[in-house]
């Protein structure tokens, strides 16, 4: 299983990126790592609903002027590097 997966979610109010970690004990650590990235407005830990594999997710709220695709790519790159270093 991959250490994380991320998805862009568009809602009527704002775009978000949901990050699901295979190890939920890292949720707070990863949340703190990502809070100061460009384009990130704020981050919340939320319970996952539906058929997702994780009980919680990290919900990243994107600033309105930021490109969600660029922010997702930056976060994915950082997370991949983080997990490559930890592994």
The token pair that represents 68 in the structure block: 């969600």
With cut-offs at 50, 70 and 90, classify the pLDDT of residue 12: confident
Pairing of strands 40-47, 4-10: unpaired
A 10 A CB-CB count for 21 gives 22
- Rounded mean pLDDT, 44-71: 86
Query: pLDDT at residue 29 above 90?
Result: yes
- Rounded mean pLDDT, 14-29: 92
Q: What gap in Å lies between CA 24 and CA 22, rounded to an integer? A: 6
With cut-offs at 50, 70 and 90, classify the pLDDT of residue 51: low
Q: Structural domains in the chain?
A: 4-86 (3.30.1360.10)
């Amino acid at each position: 299983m991959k250490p994380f997966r991320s998805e862009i979610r568009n809602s009527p109010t704002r775009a978000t990126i949901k990050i699901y970690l295979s190890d939920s004990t890292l949720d707070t650590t990863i949340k703190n790592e990502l809070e100061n990235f460009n384009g990130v407005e704020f981050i919340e830990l939320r319970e996952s609903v539906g058929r997702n594999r994780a009980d919680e997710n990290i919900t990243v709220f994107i600033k309105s002027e930021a490109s969600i695709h660029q922010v997702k790519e930056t976060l994915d790159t950082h997370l991949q590097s983080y997990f490559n270093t930890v592994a």
